[in-house]
Amino acid sequence: MSMQNPVFIPGPTNMPEVLRKAVDMPTLDHRSSTFATILNPALAGVAKVLKTEAGKIFVFPSTGTGGWETAITNTLSPGDKILVARNGMFSHRWIDMCQRHGLDVQVIETPWGEGLPADLYEEALRADSGHQIKAVLATHNETATGVVSDIAAVRGAIDAAGHPALFLVDGVSSIGSMDFRMDAWGVDIAVTGSQKGFMLPAGLAIVGVSPKAHAAMDAAKLHRTFFDLRDMEKGYLVNGFPYTPPVGLLNGLSMACDMLLDEGLENVFARHRRIADGVRAAVGAWGLKLCAKKPEWASDTVSAIRTPEGFNATDIVTHAADQYGMAFGVGLGEVAGKVFRIGHLGQLSDALALSGLATVEMAMADLGLNIELGSGVAAAQAVYRHGKNGAKKAAA
């Protein structure tokens, strides 16, 4: 596979050169005062990206999976009941983790390709008159199916039921690319990682913790050591970590936040929406359909595209890698072999997106699918191009 080409997997994403250089730094004494000039701006920047003023930010050497474990082990005890919907591979994996930790998991089974059912969350919470459910879990953006869910609606379901459960949200493939409002949506723990919207290598679990979740820490009895928020908080009090920190990644995180905030979060979200709209236009021009069953469920960071019955979608990914040196995502779990995925998040522009669409279009045509070369690219160009009027407007 060519190292020259951008990747179109939904993470890790393409790294801006400036961030790659920020991560590649000389050894630093992490117990010196210099470390504070890296750590504190990184934490402050993440808080702004999460849109939280009340929450505290914690960063661990790990990935989003470590963030999931941080969320449950710091707030829950063995045997606690939780409520969660399963609508894809990543919600499934979080459920599996909870079960392995001895939690009593009530699962709302949801067809893959659909968003989280806020009405069923509310129904289950209303039925829990004794408030045995201690936490509600939700995956904002299901990376396996390219489905985004309405987190504000799930929060509304909790409130409508008058339920005191904590609200824990996986924002791994949404935060930094799509709008996420930790405070406004009443999210108690938000989980993400460094390798998607923050455009960094994998290696950081990033967790936002509300005052309500923070208050639950001491009563929580699930075992935790490496992911203990109390230990990390003590380290922060002296501008350090409870163990050796990933200094280079934290330096990159600080700069990544600066880049997102300098572009303007609303502009970042609009850019992702525009690129996603172009991808969706291409899918329609190919005569194919998204895994997401309704337009409002279509993710702005990853599109899972269904191939015709009897065609192995994984062959497209393999062929594109072998023949054109470009990476796309395979289907996972229930949709393995049925979809291929185009990741369109992080450092991506309209022009880069067109290169991916042109390449996957060639791969599909090579494999005998009824795809007219140029059709998807042209449909995306119609979304992306500014035209003479746009150019004049921009110049003005």
Report yes or no: 66 and 60 within 8 Å, Cβ to Cβ. Answer: yes
Question: So what's the pLDDT on residue 1?
Answer: 61
Q: How many helices (H) and strands (E) does the chain have?
A: 14, 13
Least confident of 16-25, 126-135, 382-391: 382-391
Say if residue 342's pLDDT is above 60. Answer: yes
For residue 5, what pLDDT band results from cuts at 50, 70 and 90? Answer: confident
Question: So what's the pLDDT on residue 98?
Answer: 98
Task: Work out the average pLDDT over 47-59.
Answer: 98
Task: Work out the average pLDDT over 326-346.
Answer: 97
Segments making up each domain of the chain, as ranges: 17-262, 264-395
Report yes or no: 220 and 74 within 8 Å, Cβ to Cβ. Answer: yes
Pairwise CA distance, residues 369 & 203, whole Å: 38
Question: So what's the pLDDT on residue 392?
Answer: 37
Question: So what's the pLDDT on residue 395?
Answer: 38
Question: So what's the pLDDT on residue 248?
Answer: 97
132-183 pLDDT, tens digit each: 999 999 999 999 999 999 999 999 999 999 999 999 999 999 999 999 999 9
Report yes or no: 191 and 63 within 8 Å, Cβ to Cβ. Answer: no
90-117 pLDDT, tens digit each: 999 999 999 999 999 999 999 999 999 9
Question: So what's the pLDDT on residue 391?
Answer: 38
Token readout for 302 is 């990853």
User: Half-sphere exposure of residue 7, counting CA atoms within 13 Å on the CB side?
Assistant: 17
Q: What is the DSSP string of 77-118?
A: -TT-EEEEEE-SHHHHHHHHHHHHTT-EEEEEE--TTS---H
**194 CA to centre of own chain:** 10
Question: So what's the pLDDT on residue 387?
Answer: 64
Say if residue 388's pLDDT is above 90. Answer: no
274-300 pLDDT, tens digit each: 999 999 999 999 999 999 999 999 999
Task: Work out the average pLDDT over 215-219.
Answer: 96
Q: Which residues pair with 84 in a beta bridge?
A: 107, 137
Question: Measuring CA to CA, which residue among 206, 183, 184 is closest to residue 193?
Answer: 206
17-262 belongs to CATH 3.40.640.10: yes
Question: So what's the pLDDT on residue 386?
Answer: 84
- Dump strand ranges (E) for the chain: 56-61, 81-86, 104-109, 133-139, 141-142, 147-148, 166-170, 189-193, 204-209, 289-290, 302-306, 329-330, 339-343
Residue type, 380: A
Report yes or no: 314 and 304 within 8 Å, Cβ to Cβ. Answer: no
**Mean pLDDT rounded to a whole number for the chain:** 95
Percentage with pLDDT > 70 across the chain: 97
Question: So what's the pLDDT on residue 345?
Answer: 97
Question: So what's the pLDDT on residue 4?
Answer: 76
Say if residue 61's pLDDT is above 50. Answer: yes
Q: Which residues pair with 61 in a beta bridge?
A: 204
Q: Which CATH class for the 264-395 domain?
A: alpha beta
Question: Measuring CA to CA, which residue among 291, 21, 294, 67 is closest to residue 173?
Answer: 67
User: Could you tell me the CA-to-CA distances from 275 to 114, 223, 283 in Å, in that order?
Assistant: 22, 43, 13
**201 CA to centre of own chain:** 14
**pTM for the full model?**
0.95
For residue 31, what pLDDT band results from cuts at 50, 70 and 90? Answer: confident
Report yes or no: 188 and 76 within 8 Å, Cβ to Cβ. Answer: no
Cβ-based neighbours of 62, under 8 Å, separated by 6 or more? 70, 203, 204, 205, 227
How would you classify the pairing of strands 104-109 and 133-139? unpaired
Tell me how many degrees the CA angle 334-336-340 measures, rounded to the nearest 5.
125
Report yes or no: 56 and 204 within 8 Å, Cβ to Cβ. Answer: no
Pairwise CA distance, residues 26 & 203, whole Å: 18
